[in-house]
Amino acid sequence: MKDPAHLITLFDLSSHEIESIFSITEDLKVKFEEGHRDELLPGRVLALLFEKPSLRTRVSFETAMLHLGGGSLFLGDDVGFGKRETVADFGRVLSAYVDVIVVRAKQHQTVVELARHSTCSVINGLTDEAHPCQALADLFTLRERFGSFTAGRLAWIGDGNNVARSLAIGCALVGMPFVAAMPPGYELDPQVIADIQSTLPQAQIAVTNDPREAVRESIAVYTDVWASMGQEEEKEQRQRDFADYQVNQTLMKQAPADAVFMHCLPARRGLEVTDQVIDGRQSIVVQQAANRLHVQKGILAWLLGTKGRSGR
Ligand code: CP
Ligand code: NVA
């Protein structure tokens, strides 16, 4: 990685770098559970810019920075991001003050532009194209659960959206087989699949329109909302198009008995997943959300750590 290092999509990381982040995460999580908070980033400051709502990403990053001995600034509308000056000028100035920026933007290009002009690290906190920090927390959770990434396959059921893309790249990087079952017209961007296959030729990635085929022999069944933030107007059409892609008990019965159910949350209960599944014995959605805190610490400590990837 070049300095400053940014995390815009998981293509910014190598398998080895993911392993380094997870090893820091593991160490910090064990210490945290023993009641110890390792203050690895004293005096460092994180700025958060959010153009869309957030519970998990915002609070886990802010809390992570506090636990690491640093501070965080949640920047509201008054800073006029995207309104008072160019994104380039905004990035040049904000990065002169803070050590790292987490940004959730309506347009993926906004994050790319902000990173291009910032002299500190920029982390993508979700765009329509990517949600890299979510996928890292999910992979970490899967390894905690199964002990390795090669224990079995992850089945994505539903929309070929930001989370699906990041998981597809993440699985390829860590060596976990990935299959996606999506309705016609909502498939993963073929360019993302082509990019995965050209960068990581050993990747095991499959696509289908049949959810039952996908969950058979998969150890994790993952779904997300049918209409993401910004797609509210398509909600009704999508409910019709995704009707056969609900993760319910009938579908879960097709998966191995020890398969887990995953969701990045927030969920639309009764649509993409039933109460019985999300509240059932196979669901690990709360562990996933809880691990966001620990993995954010791993990401921050790795980016801002002694090796100076942040450019500071
Ligand atoms: N999963 C996730 O990113 O949740 P938030 O939108 O609440 O941050
Ligand atoms: N795909 C969802 C993820 C939310 C965390 C969205 O973009 O709204």
Catalytic residue among 56, 131, 165, 238: 131
Strand extents, DSSP E, 131-259: 153-157, 178-181, 205-208, 218-223
Residues 148 and 279 in one domain: yes
Atom of ligand 2 nearest to the CA of 134: 5
Q: Is 134 a catalytic residue?
A: yes
Helix, strand, coil shares, percent, the chain, to 5: 45, 15, 40
Is residue 308 included in any domain, yes or no?
no
Share of the chain above pLDDT 90, in %: 96
Read off the pLDDT of residues 16-35 as tens digits, 9 standing for 90 and up. 999 999 999 999 999 999 99
Residues 278 and 140 in one domain: yes
Residues 85 and 103 in one domain: yes
Nearest C-alpha to atom 2 of ligand 2 is from which residue?
228
Cβ atoms of 255 and 211 closer than 8 Å: no
User: What are the backbone angles phi and psi of residue 16, rounded to the nearest 5°?
Assistant: -65, -40
- Which pLDDT band holds residue 1 (cuts at 50, 70, 90)? very low
Ligand 2: residues with CB < 6 A are 126, 161-163, 224-225, 228-229, 264
Whether the pLDDT of residue 309 is over 70: the answer is no
Q: How far is the CA of 106 from the centre of ligand 1 (A)?
A: 14
Q: How far is the CA of 33 from the centre of ligand 2 (A)?
A: 29
Question: What is the spatial distance between Cα 48 and Cα 174, in angstroms, rounded to a whole number?
Answer: 28
Q: How far is the CA of 105 from the centre of ligand 1 (A)?
A: 13
pTM score: 0.97
Residues 49 and 88 in one domain: yes
Measure Cα distances from 203 to 3, 46, 178, 197, 269 in Å.
Answer: 28, 34, 9, 6, 32
Residues 246 and 298 in one domain: no
Residues 150 and 238 in one domain: yes
Domain count, the chain: 2
Residues 248 and 273 in one domain: yes
Is residue 247 included in any domain, yes or no?
yes
For residue 183, cis peptide bond before it (omega within 30 degrees of 0)? no
Ligand 1 site-directed mutation target among 126, 131, 136, most atoms within 8 Å of CB:
126
**Section 1-25 average pLDDT:** 91
Q: Is 264 a catalytic residue?
A: yes
Average pLDDT, the chain: 96
Question: What is the spatial distance between Cα 3 and Cα 31, in angstroms, rounded to a whole number?
Answer: 29
Is residue 1 included in any domain, yes or no?
no
Residues 149 and 280 in one domain: yes
Whether the pLDDT of residue 92 is over 90: the answer is yes
Is residue 5 included in any domain, yes or no?
no
For residue 211, cis peptide bond before it (omega within 30 degrees of 0)? no
Cβ atoms of 130 and 166 closer than 8 Å: yes
Residues 162 and 263 in one domain: yes
Note down the domain range covering 298. Answer: 10-131+290-303
Is residue 251 included in any domain, yes or no?
yes
CA angle 88, 89, 90 (to 5 degrees): 90
Ligand 2 site-directed mutation target among 131, 133, 159, 223, most atoms within 8 Å of CB:
131
Is residue 310 included in any domain, yes or no?
no
Whether the pLDDT of residue 306 is over 90: the answer is no
Read off the pLDDT of residues 189-226 as tens digits, 9 standing for 90 and up. 999 999 999 999 999 999 999 999 999 999 999 999 99
Query: What sign results for the dihedral spanned by CA atoms 107, 189, 165, 236?
Result: positive
Sheet holding 260-263, edge to edge: 205-208, 178-181, 153-157, 218-223, 260-263
Using alpha carbons, select from 152, 153, 155, 162 the residue that is nearest to residue 192: 162
Residues 158 and 295 in one domain: no
Q: How far is the CA of 202 from the centre of ligand 1 (A)?
A: 31
Q: What is the CA radius of gyration of the chain?
A: 19
Q: 308 or 96: whose pLDDT is higher?
A: 96
- Which pLDDT band holds residue 305 (cuts at 50, 70, 90)? confident
The CATH number of whichever domain residue 45 belongs to comes to 3.40.50.1370
Residues 144 and 108 in one domain: no
**Section 274-288 average pLDDT:** 98
Share of the chain above pLDDT 70, in %: 97
Read off the pLDDT of residues 143-187 as tens digits, 9 standing for 90 and up. 999 999 999 999 999 999 999 999 999 999 999 999 999 999 999
- Which pLDDT band holds residue 4 (cuts at 50, 70, 90)? confident
Cβ atoms of 133 and 296 closer than 8 Å: yes
Cβ atoms of 21 and 136 closer than 8 Å: yes
Tell the residue number behind the tokens 């224990």, with chain if given. 151
Residues 172 and 261 in one domain: yes
Read off the pLDDT of residues 50-75 as tens digits, 9 standing for 90 and up. 999 999 999 999 999 999 999 999 99
Is residue 127 lining ligand 1, measured as CB closer than 6 Å? Answer: no
For strands 100-104 and 45-50, give the pairing.
parallel
